[in-house]
């Protein structure tokens, strides 16, 4: 088979057609790229191009087939609604705190009519938009741009605080419905802004929906409807992906049936079972252990694990990627081994 472009490779795998090699991408990579450049997120997103040149430099170097347009800041837009963010430590992920002091009193006062206005007025969101626009100019002719923003369930959890949010689900289900309606609108507007500036792929991230955090019944009752609604509100996007952390293999069939095109899953998900459950209706993206072999192993060990994943997939609709965001101190040589495995296994 002739060598494909990155866009052709992604189009083919998502259509469950043959590819010249297994596609490769990062789930995010923002913390790793910022640390490699010795930049804080404030410095990265404060650059004239929003840090786009840094993002494109490193995704080109490691030969990803997709480039993340808002690397490392999937919950940062919530600062527009009162969540404090900490963005001034090199190598540290963006830390977004709770916005509400009294959720029971504050949730009924949320106003969806001002969401876009508040996002556009937020300095960090402006940096995200600037980065997206410039990544599009630098790489959009070669690679699809992926927007990685928190999904409705995770946004709600951040605004309230994870522990308080779980208690709210149990004690105040009607308030939770109101909050999820609001956060779905926030996620929708943020994805729309990214698409207007060049994003091709929407990937709502739902780490709080992990099988390590909530039951399958809660996932199907509270998370899946939000993702379905979000997808329906974003018809302008070419593709709709989703990321869920942790032991989330049981989520595959529900996400497939919800119309998710690719499921970015963690290393705790059994790849063979996930591909069988996807059953040709969804691509599985992952699932190299980011905190294990990728961060702490050798290049040889990373290469072996990547090759093993490709052998397991056996052409059944796979994008090789870390199982979640990479640690900031991940060795470059380990990162390079993932694309090397994709190339070598195609020979």
| Residue pLDDT, tens place only, 244-293 | 999 999 999 999 999 999 999 999 999 999 999 999 999 999 999 999 99
Query: What average pLDDT does the segment 208-225 reach?
Result: 94
pLDDT value for 72: 85
Give me the domain span that covers residue 34: 6-344
pLDDT value for 106: 96
The answer to whether the bond into 5 is cis (omega within 30° of 0) is no
- The answer to whether residue 26 sits within a structural domain is yes
SS3 of residue 68 by DSSP: strand
Is a pLDDT exceeding 80 seen at residue 1? no
SS3 of residue 147 by DSSP: strand
Round to whole Å and give the CA distance between 131 and 199. 11
Which segments of 197-331 does DSSP mark as H helices, in order?
Answer: 216-218, 224-232, 252-257, 271-278, 293-296, 299-313
Query: What average pLDDT does the segment 19-32 reach?
Result: 95
CATH code for position 302: 3.20.20.210
- The answer to whether residue 16 sits within a structural domain is yes
Model confidence band, residue 18 (pLDDT cutoffs 50, 70, 90): very high
- The answer to whether residue 1 sits within a structural domain is no
What are the tokens at 160?
Answer: 């309230």
Q: Which of 16-30, 82-96, 327-341 has the lowest mean pLDDT?
A: 82-96
Q: How many domains does the chain have?
A: 1
- The answer to whether residue 202 sits within a structural domain is yes
Query: What average pLDDT does the segment 139-161 reach?
Result: 97
Round to whole Å and give the CA distance between 215 and 205. 17
pLDDT value for 270: 96
pLDDT value for 109: 96
Round to whole Å and give the CA distance between 109 and 93. 30
Segment holding 191, helix H or strand E = helix 173-196
| Residue pLDDT, tens place only, 56-93 | 999 999 999 999 989 889 999 999 999 999 889 898 87
| Location of structure tokens 């790489």 | 139
pLDDT value for 22: 98
Model confidence band, residue 212 (pLDDT cutoffs 50, 70, 90): confident
Is a pLDDT exceeding 80 seen at residue 301? yes
Model confidence band, residue 55 (pLDDT cutoffs 50, 70, 90): very high
pLDDT value for 256: 97
């Amino acid at each position: 088979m002739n060598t494909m472009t990155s866009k052709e490779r992604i189009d083919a795998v998502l259509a469950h057609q043959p590819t010249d090699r297994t596609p490769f991408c990062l789930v995010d990579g923002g913390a790793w790229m910022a640390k490699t450049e010795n930049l804080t997120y404030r410095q990265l997103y404060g650059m004239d191009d929003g840090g786009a040149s840094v993002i494109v430099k490193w995704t080109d170097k490691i030969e990803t087939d997709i480039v993340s347009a808002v690397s490392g800041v999937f919950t940062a837009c919530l600062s527009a609604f009162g969540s404090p963010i900490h963005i001034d430590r090199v190598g540290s992920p963006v830390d977004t705190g709770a916005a509400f002091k009294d959720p029971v009193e504050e949730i009924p006062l949320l106003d969806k009519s001002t969401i876009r206005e508040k996002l556009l007025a937020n300095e960090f969101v402006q940096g995200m938009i600037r980065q997206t626009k410039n990544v599009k100019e630098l790489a959009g002719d070669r690679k699809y741009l992926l927007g990685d923003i928190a999904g409705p369930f995770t946004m709600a959890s951040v605004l309230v605080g994870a522990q308080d949010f779980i208690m709210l689900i149990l004690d105040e289900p009607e308030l939770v419905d109101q909050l999820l309606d609001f956060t779905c609108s926030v996620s929708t507007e943020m994805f729309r802004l990214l698409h207007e500036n060049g994003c091709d792929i929407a990937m709502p991230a739902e780490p709080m929906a992990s099988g390590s955090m909530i039951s399958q019944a809660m996932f199907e009752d509270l998370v899946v409807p939000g993702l379905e609604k979000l997808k329906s509100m974003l018809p302008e996007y070419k593709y709709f992906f989703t990321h869920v952390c942790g032991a989330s293999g049981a989520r595959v069939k529900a996400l497939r049936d919800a119309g998710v095109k690719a499921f970015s899953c963690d290393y705790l998900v059994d790849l063979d079972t996930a591909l069988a459950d996807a059953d040709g209706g969804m691509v599985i993206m992952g699932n190299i252990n980011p905190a294990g072999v990728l961060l702490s192993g050798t290049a040889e060990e990373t290469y072996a694990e990547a090759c093993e994943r490709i052998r397991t997939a056996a052409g059944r609709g796979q994008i090789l990627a870390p199982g979640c965001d990479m640690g900031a101190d991940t060795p470059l040589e380990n990162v390079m081994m993932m694309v090397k495995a994709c190339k070598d296994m195609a020979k």
